[in-house]
Amino acid sequence: MMSCPTEAVEQATLFHWAAMLSGRYPELMLLFHIPNGGKRGKAEAARFKAEGVKPGVPDLFLPVARDGYHGLFVEMKRREGGRVSKEQKKWQTELTLQGYCAVVCRGWEDAMWQIANYLDIDI
């Protein structure tokens, strides 16, 4: 039985897809990862918190305005498993209230379709 790819593998695959299409759709070059998650030691976690890292912030941001939204935030999860935390749900709600599109994607293909739909890219 094959195991489900990790969130990191799914995200790297998504960025590979975005790079391949960026010549035709340059907006994809603006997609970036927000390195907010991960396990850290106590000292590093305290430093990151002091520098403004906040729990629940989505993994990716596409700072491209479309259809009345200021940009697209993407919370990546692996295709199977991966729970959306209470903090992530709160960020999704608050970002939406501020005029952003905020989605949870299970796997790179789901994220690809969400981004393509947001940018009106024909896949």
Which range has the worst mean pLDDT, 35-39, 48-52, 70-74, 102-106?
35-39
Indicate the pLDDT class of residue 2, thresholds 50, 70 and 90.
low
pLDDT average, residue stretch 80-105:
96
Q: Distance between CA atoms of 77 and 82, rounded to whole angstroms?
A: 5
Identify the pLDDT of residue 81: 84
The DSSP secondary-structure symbol of 3 reads P
pLDDT, one tens digit per residue, over 9-64 is: 999 999 999 999 999 999 999 999 998 866 677 888 788 888 888 999 999 999 99
- The mean of the pLDDT values for the chain is 93
Identify the burial level of 81 via C-beta atoms within 10 angstroms of its C-beta, where 0-12 means exposed, 13-18 middle and 19 or more buried: exposed
Domains of the chain, each with CATH number or no CATH: 7-119 (3.40.1350.10)
The pLDDT assigned to 64 comes to 98
- Distance separating alpha carbons of residues 53 and 45, to the nearest angstrom: 9
Residue 118 neighbours by CB under 8 Å, 6+ apart: 62, 64, 66, 67, 69, 72, 101
Q: Does residue 1 carry a pLDDT above 60?
A: no
pLDDT at residue number 67: 96
